[in-house]
Amino acid sequence: MLSQPLALPEQLALAEPATIATALQWACLLLAPTSDSAQLDAEVLLLHCIKKRRAFLYTWPEKPLTPEQVKSFEALVQKRHKGLPVAHIVGEREFWSLPFMVNDTTLIPRPDTEILVETALSLPLSTYAKVLDLGTGTGAIALALASERESWEITAVDKVDDAVALAIANRENLKLTQVNILQSDWFSAVKARDFDLIVSNPPYIDETDEHLHQGDVRFEPQSALTAAEEGFADLYYIAKTARDYLKPNGYILLEHGFEQAVKLRAKLVELGYENVATVRDFGSNDRCTLGKWAE
């Protein structure tokens, strides 16, 4: 005889009384079909509701949740179930171990971009290096660099006013007030021949890329994601124009798609950069390429 069909997880409310462990288990079941990071999503959403740090979840799995916590957790999990990025639901994403406020006006900082920060920090630059971050978005790259190099003179720019406002809010929140943040269409508001290092994580996804219809990118602004010429237009523009904005022996360092390294290296060499090299991210994908402007 056939048994009663099981209720689908999405039809279940979180059973009360709920504990940390039962709440996480419920959310994982609900999110697993639509998210490939269900466990992490559930943990970040629960921590947001109970206002605790990660270790708390493992130390106190039996701890009961209050009815208010259950209600708010259910609401957040339902939003995630509809596809909304976790970072947008909680309004925050960690990058370089720093908390960044996020919203839908910019790209959500990615762990992949930490390799760009690490590479920038490894360059032989002076204690008082002048650094430019183009298309800063939340300010993640510029502020992460500032958190490591107090005496660097860092300028971060974005074309979008809302992004500039968000980066400034992050700067204030992180108390990294030495970073100069301004509105600029790429180089339009900065001085020529002024920088020892120019970094950028520009839009580099091809406009027809399938991956634009999946996951978090559906909720991020197109202007931060896609570029013409199979995603190369902004990378090439920045590489070409940066030559006028770098000091002699300054570096350019660009994030790009994992299949764009060969062409981008060729372009940098063609433009006259030296010591051109690509660095892989922690997933072993080609992720950023640098060159030295020796003139």
Subset of residues 197 to 216 that bind ligand GLN, contact rule: CB under 6 A: 201-205
The single residue among 110, 159, 247, 280 that binds ligand GLN, judged by CB under 6 A, is 110
Binders of ligand GLN: how many residues, by CB under 6 A?
A: 10
Q: Taking CB under 6 A as the rule, does residue 217 contact ligand GLN?
A: yes
Phi, psi of 130 (to 5 degrees): -100, 125
Task: Tell me how far CA of residue 56 lies from CA of 52, 88, 209, in angstroms.
Answer: 6, 23, 40
225 lies in the binding site for ligand GLN (CB under 6 A): yes
User: In the complex with ligand GLN, which residue's Cβ is closer, 180 or 223?
Assistant: 223
- 106 lies in the binding site for ligand GLN (CB under 6 A): no
Residue found by looking up tokens 């060499």 in the block: 269
Segment interacting with ligand GLN (CB under 6 A) among 13-21, 104-112, 125-133, 164-172 = 104-112
For 207, counting Cβ atoms within 10 Å of its Cβ (0-12 exposed, 13-18 middle, 19+ buried), the class is middle
Q: Does residue 44 bind ligand GLN (CB under 6 A)?
A: no
**CB-nearer residue toward ligand GLN: 106 or 170:** 106
Residue 162, SS3 per DSSP = helix
The region of 11-19, 107-115, 170-178, 184-192 touching ligand GLN under the rule CB under 6 A is 107-115
8-state DSSP, 127: T
How many CB atoms neighbour CB 196 within 10 A?
Answer: 20
DSSP string covering 183-231: E-STTTTS-TT-EEEEEE----EETT-GGGGSGGGGGS-HHHHEETGGG
Q: Which stretch binds ligand GLN (CB under 6 A): 2-10, 85-93, 195-203, 267-275?
A: 195-203
Structure tokens at 253: 């360092």
For ligand GLN, the closer CB: 16 or 94 = 94
Residue 40 C-beta: closest distance to ligand GLN, Å: 17
Q: Which residues bind ligand GLN (CB under 6 A)?
A: 107, 110, 112, 201-205, 217, 225
